Amino acid sequence: MLKFDDLDFIETVSAARKVTFPYIPGLLSFREAPACIAAAGKLTKQPDVFIIDGQGIAHPRRLGLAAHLGLFFNKPAIGCAKSRLTGKFEEPPLEKGGHTPLTDTNTAKRNPGLETIGAVVRTRTNVKPLFVSVGHKCTLADAVKITLACATKYRLPEPTRLAHHAVSKLRLHI
DNA sequence: GCGACAG
DNA sequence: ATCTTGTCGC
């Protein structure tokens, strides 16, 4: 967990769980959520917003890992995925901060038609964009702003980058 | 039936 | 995700 304004380190928590479900596109929550929930339960302070390595509502059924966890925690959550699961988009400008909408066809009888489900965001100039989407309790505009605010020198936002780093170190002890 | 497919 | 060497660009 990091402090939002200056990205100062606050704490790192982790949890190890045996995999009980395979990776199936669209069903990532069933594989990842248990460990995520266990780890979050160890936090000594509650975060204001979760940045999740996966999709929010940019999901075939609008319920990606970030949406799932946000609902479970009843906290704001942002889906920050490294690649696309569903939806169409135009390549965003190559400069950091450039972004285009991620759209998908909604087949629900309520509001059929094209729907914006996320944003394709360039978090670093000339580098592959990230797929940002609302997870829970936030707007897409804020999700993009927060993602960019956390992406300083690298492609991935700092919280995600530090988490990957922490996991790599933990795996050495196994 | 044929592609697409978060991590 | 993981395997895996050299290489391209700022």
List the domains of chain A with CATH numbers. 28-88+130-172 (3.30.2170.10)
pLDDT of residue A109: 67
Q: Which of residues 22-81 of A touch strand C (CB under 7 A)?
A: 23, 53
Tell me which nucleotides of strand C come within 7 A of a protein CB.
Answer: 1-2, 9-10
* Full-model pTM: 0.96
CA A26 to C1' B1, in angstroms, rounded, equals 22
Q: Which of residues 128-157 of A touch strand C (CB under 7 A)?
A: none
Residue at A167: amino acid letter: V
Q: What digits encode the pLDDT tens for the residues A126-148?
A: 999 999 999 999 999 999 999 99
From the list A41, A50, A35, A36, the residue with the least C-alpha distance to A1 is A50
CA A127 to C1' C8, in angstroms, rounded, equals 13
Q: Which residues of chain A have pLDDT under 70?
A: 109-110
Q: What angle do CA A66, A68, A71 make, to 5 degrees?
A: 105
Say how far apart CA A58 and CA A88 lie, in whole Å: 10
> Which run of H or E residues covers position A135?
strand A130-136
Whether A107 sits with its Cβ under 7 A from any strand C atom: the answer reads no
Say how far apart CA A53 and CA A81 lie, in whole Å: 5
Q: What digits encode the pLDDT tens for the residues A17-28?
A: 999 999 999 999
